[in-house]
Amino acid sequence: MVNAIRLITSKRDGLALDREEIVGLIDAYTCGVVPDYQMSAFLMAAYLRGMNETETAALTESMLNSGATMGRQIDSKSRVDKHSTGGVGDKVSLIVAPTAAACGVCVPMITGRGLGHTGGTQDKLSAIPGFRTDLTTADCGSQLDRIGVVITAQTDEIAPADRRMYALRDVTVTVDFIPFIAASIMSKKLAEDIDGLVLDVKAGRGAFMATEDDARQLAKMLVSIGERFGTRTIAWMTRMDVPLGRAVGNWIEVVESVRCLQGDGESDVMEVSIRLAGEMIHLAGCATSAAQGRKMAQCAINSGTALQKFVEIVETQGGDARPLFQPPKMQAAAEVYAPASAQGYVSDIDALVVGLTACQMGVGRRVKEDEVDPMSGIILHKKPGEPVTGGCLLASLYTQHERQVRRFVAAIRNSYSFSASPPPWQPVIMDRLDRSGWLSSRIAS
C-alpha cells in the first residue's frame, strides 16, 4: 500500500524517489486511492525540487502502463512517428505523416488539441468536415494495416494517468516543467508501439521552450526516455521565433498544408517537413540514409503520392476531401496594413504575439471547455526578408469576435518590425540530437 504522505514529504524535502515509489504513487492515483489534492501537492513538490532521469522514466512508464497500447502484428512494417513540442503555424505533422507513409513508413500518430498559444494537429484536422479523430485503438490498428497511417487523438484508453495529471497540472500551474512535459509526451508516443520517433523540439519565443538551453534540456530528456524504452529517438531542434509558413489557424493551416503537399509550400515549412520526413523514412529502414530519405520525401511530394495519401487519410477517417481542393471563399474580418513609416523590409514577426492573438480570435481555447472556431485565423502576406512599403497589406484576419477586431489589428501590426535593409537570415533548423549526441558538437570536434 503506497504511503502518499511519505512520498510527498520526501519530494518536498528534495529527495529522489526510486522507480517503485513513483510507479506505486501513479498506480494508486490512477485507480483513485490517491486523491487529486495529494497528487497536486506531489506535482508542486516535484516542480519546485526537480526530478532526475530515473524518476522521469518511472513516471513515463507508469503513465504509459495506465492504459492500452495500439498493439501490432508480429510481422508488421516498421512504425515511426513524429511529434512536435508545439509552435505557431506548425502544420508540419499534416505534411510529414502522409509523405512518410507514401514512402512506406507505417505512421501511427496520436495528436493533441492546441495548448496555450500553440496550435494542435487534432484541432486542425477537425476543421475538415466529417473528419474523425476519436478512433479506438482497434480502429487505429486496422487502419494502419489497411493504409499504413492514422492520425488520431488521445482517447481514454491511451495513458489515462497523463490525461488526469495534465488537467491537474493545468490548474496547479505545474505545466512548464521539463520532466512532466517529457513524461507526458513520451507516455503517449510509446503507447503507439513504435520502433522509432522523430521529435521536433521548438526553441524560441513562440515555443514553450523560449530559450535554446531549455529546448536542449527537453530534447535530451525526450531522447533519453525513448532510447531507455528501446525506441530509436531523434530530436531536431528548430527555431520558433517567427510563425511557420503563412497561415495560423485551423482550416487555413489545412489548406496551406495541401499547398505544401502540391509542391507549393513556403521554404521554412518545407525545410522542416522534408528534414523530419527524411529522418522517419531512414529510421523505418525504407532508405539507407536520412539524405536518401529526404530525396524520397521530396519525390513523394513532386509525384503527388504524398497528397494522394493525405486524401486517403481524410476519406478513411470520414472526412470530405472536396473542400481541400475548392476551399470556400472566406471574408476577412479585417486587414492589417503597414504603417506609413515602413520602408524597406520586414525584419521580424513575433510568433508569441501572433499565437496569443490567434488564440483570442478563436483558433485556440481560453478555458479548456471552449470550442475552437475552425475558420478563424491569420494569413501573413508578408514574412521576414520580404520588401514592404508604407500602407502595404501585411495580414488578413478571420474571426467572429468582431467587437475586438481593432485590438487584434493593432496586436498583429505591432508584432511586425521593419528595417531599411534585409534582415540577417535565421536558419530554421538549429541542431540534431540522437543517442550519440548533438550534431553540432560532432561537427565542432
First and final C-alpha spacing in the chain? 51
Q: Which sign, positive or negative, has the C-alpha torsion 223, 70, 83, 39?
A: negative
| Distance from the Cα of residue 122 to its chain's centroid | 10
Per-residue binder mask for ligand URA (CB under 6 A), 26-45, x = binder: --------------------
**Residue 115 or 168 having the CB closest to ligand URA:** 115
> Rounded to the nearest whole angstrom, what is the least distance from the CB of residue 235 to ligand URA in the complex?
14
What part of residues 163-202 is at the interface with ligand URA (CB under 6 A)? 180-181, 184-185
**Residue 65 or 184 having the CB closest to ligand URA:** 184
> Rounded to the nearest whole angstrom, what is the least distance from the CB of residue 10 to ligand URA in the complex?
23
Alpha carbon distance 253, 247 (integer Å): 5
Q: Does 319 bind ligand URA (CB under 6 A)?
A: no
> Rounded to the nearest whole angstrom, what is the least distance from the CB of residue 184 to ligand URA in the complex?
3
> Rounded to the nearest whole angstrom, what is the least distance from the CB of residue 214 to ligand URA in the complex?
13
Alpha carbon distance 96, 81 (integer Å): 9
User: Is position 6 annotated as part of the catalytic site?
Assistant: no
> Rounded to the nearest whole angstrom, what is the least distance from the CB of residue 185 to ligand URA in the complex?
5
What's the burial of 15, exposed, middle or buried (CB within 10 Å: 0-12/13-18/19+)? exposed
User: Is position 188 annotated as part of the catalytic site?
Assistant: yes
**Residue 94 or 338 having the CB closest to ligand URA:** 94
What part of residues 94-113 is at the interface with ligand URA (CB under 6 A)? 112
Q: Does 63 bind ligand URA (CB under 6 A)?
A: no
> Rounded to the nearest whole angstrom, what is the least distance from the CB of residue 250 to ligand URA in the complex?
18
**Residue 112 or 374 having the CB closest to ligand URA:** 112
Q: Does 248 bind ligand URA (CB under 6 A)?
A: no
Q: Which three cell numbers stand for residue 425?
A: 537570415
Match 507549393 to its residue by C-alpha cell: 264
Alpha carbon distance 301, 9 (integer Å): 55
Q: Does 206 bind ligand URA (CB under 6 A)?
A: no
Catalytic residue among 11, 124, 164, 169: 169
Q: Does 93 bind ligand URA (CB under 6 A)?
A: no
Q: For the packed helices 305-316 and 137-147, what is the interaxial angle rounded to 10 degrees?
A: 150
Q: Does 89 bind ligand URA (CB under 6 A)?
A: no
**Residue 184 or 238 having the CB closest to ligand URA:** 184
Match 476551399 to its residue by C-alpha cell: 327
**Residue 216 or 259 having the CB closest to ligand URA:** 216
Contact 367, 113 (CB under 8 A): no
User: Is position 184 annotated as part of the catalytic site?
Assistant: yes
**Listed residue (166, 159, 168) closest to 110, CA to CA:** 159
**Residue 60 or 357 having the CB closest to ligand URA:** 60
- Is residue 155 classed as helix, strand or coil in its secondary structure? coil
> Rounded to the nearest whole angstrom, what is the least distance from the CB of residue 109 to ligand URA in the complex?
13
Q: Which three cell numbers stand for residue 27?
A: 498506480
Contact 232, 197 (CB under 8 A): yes
Work out the widest C-alpha separation in the chain, in whole angstroms. 70
User: Is position 413 annotated as part of the catalytic site?
Assistant: no
Catalytic residue among 162, 195, 200, 431: 162
Catalytic residue among 188, 189, 202, 259: 188
Q: How many CB atoms lie within 10 A of CB 146?
A: 11
Q: Does 121 bind ligand URA (CB under 6 A)?
A: no
Catalytic residue among 62, 66, 84, 184: 184
- CA–CA distances in Å: residue 117 to residues 219, 243, 361, 366, 369: 21, 11, 11, 9, 16
- CA–CA distances in Å: residue 230 to residues 180, 224, 226, 227: 20, 10, 7, 5
Annotated catalytic sites, by residue?
A: 83, 162, 169, 184, 188
Residues that bind ligand URA (CB under 6 A): 112, 115, 180-181, 184-185
